[in-house]
Amino acid sequence: MFSWCTDPNAIDGLAWLSCYLTTGKHLSIYVSVGTVLLLLAITAPVALAFGFGGAMAARSHFPPLSWAGRAYIAIVRGVPDIAFFLFFVIALDQFFEWIRHEVKCPDWDQPIRQGNDFVVCAEAKLPLSTAAQWVHETYGFSLAVLTFSIVFGAFAANVLFGAMRAVPHAQLETAEAYGMTRRQTFWRILVPQMWVYALPGLSNLWMVLIKATPLLFLLGVEDIVYWARELGGSKTAKFTDYPHPDWRVWYFLALLVFYLAFTRVSEIVLDRIMKRLTHGQATMGGEAQRKAS
């Protein structure tokens, strides 16, 4: 990377470290930080949308829809999230392949599950075996995003469902008295007011989401945990110019610090947003702000 790096044996101290930390492999770990941030950036809005849908379903006056919404919220609480991650990645993959199989190969006569194998015709494979490497990686990543969204959508649904119930009932009754339909009351009165009640739960959820990102490693995505294990393991002089013993403990220390810093910054930002949102609200927080100023 740098001009002084041409002969690693001739340098030591900080210069050596600067060279070591900018090898091609190390650049991949920095890129994978980007992968984690990208996952967060996509998952957060999608999970919120799932959550909104789930909360709306749970509030529905049509019993089967309401049951489905409540079941979606309830089941995630009873079961470890990691089990969901492991389950959904295979299940979604097989589900997509099965649908494509039904569409593309209608005259296939063998069963899909043969003993311990899951067999679909070659055209239905996802991604196609001829596809480029990046397609495989993108597919794996999108499966991960979808899985995260489903699991965290359930948590978000839980938070939003609670928030919708926390909006003072008088507000809704007033809307009704003004002759608003149920739909109008929902969109114009309930939804704008629920956010301040939802924000503590949602910010908590954001923290949980940040702390769940290392699980990407289990889903086969080459994320920071993967690279930390890979780069930290002992290297002999035969394969690299930078031989070193087992340094994984240092790599994971770096990850630990990264996550601590990330959650700390999020905490500070979310605090600010909360202050902004409570301003002028008819809640205890808003009242305290009014008195203080």
Partner 1 sequence: MSCWETIADYGLRSIGIGERLLPRDNFTLCQQVTLIGSGMLWNIYFGIVALVTGFFLATALAVGKASKITPVRKLAEWVIFVFRGSPLFIQFFFAYFLFLSLKGVSSAFDPLTSAWLGAALVLFLNTAAYTGEIFYGALLSVPKGDVEAADAYGFSGWPRFKKIVWPTMLRLAWPAYTNEAIFLFHATTLVFFSGFPAWQQRGDALYYANYFADKTFNPFVPYPILAGYFILLTLCVVGLFGLINKRLNRHLPKERRQKMRMRPRLLMR
Between residues 131 and 260, which has the closer beta carbon with respect to partner 1?
A: 260
Ramachandran category for residue 80: left, alpha or beta (phi over 0 → left; psi -120 to 50 → alpha):
beta
- Determine which residue in the list 50, 155, 197, 226 makes contact with partner 1, applying CB under 8 A: 155
Q: Is 78 in the site for partner 1 (CB under 8 A)?
A: yes
Q: Is 91 in the site for partner 1 (CB under 8 A)?
A: yes
Between helices 191-212 and 133-166, what is the axis angle to 10°? 140
Residue 117 pairs with which residues in a beta bridge? 114
How near is the Cβ of 177 to partner 1 at its closest, in Å? 31
Q: Which of residues 7-66 bind partner 1 (CB under 8 A)?
A: none
Count of H-run helices and E-run strands, the chain = 11, 2
Alpha carbon 131 to its chain centroid, in Å, reads 26
Q: Which of residues 245-274 bind partner 1 (CB under 8 A)?
A: 246, 248-249, 252-253, 255-256, 259-260, 263-264
**Strand intervals (E) in 111-173:** 113-114, 117-118
Q: Are 205 and 159 in contact (CB under 8 A)?
A: yes
What is the Cα gyration radius of the chain? 25
How near is the Cβ of 150 to partner 1 at its closest, in Å? 14
**C-alpha distance across the termini of the chain, in Å:** 54
How near is the Cβ of 167 to partner 1 at its closest, in Å? 16
Q: Is 158 in the site for partner 1 (CB under 8 A)?
A: yes
Alpha carbon dihedral 75, 80, 81, 82, in 10-degree steps, equals: -140
Choices 74-82, 130-138, 178-186, 270-278 (CB under 8 A): range interacting with partner 1: 74-82
Between residues 94 and 283, which has the closer beta carbon with respect to partner 1?
A: 94
Residue 291 is classified by DSSP as: H
Q: Is 86 in the site for partner 1 (CB under 8 A)?
A: yes
Where on the chain is the footprint of partner 1 (CB under 8 A)? 75, 77-83, 86-87, 90-91, 94, 113, 115-118, 155, 158-159, 162, 201, 204-205, 208, 210-215, 217-218, 225, 228-229, 232, 246, 248-249, 252-253, 255-256, 259-260, 263-264
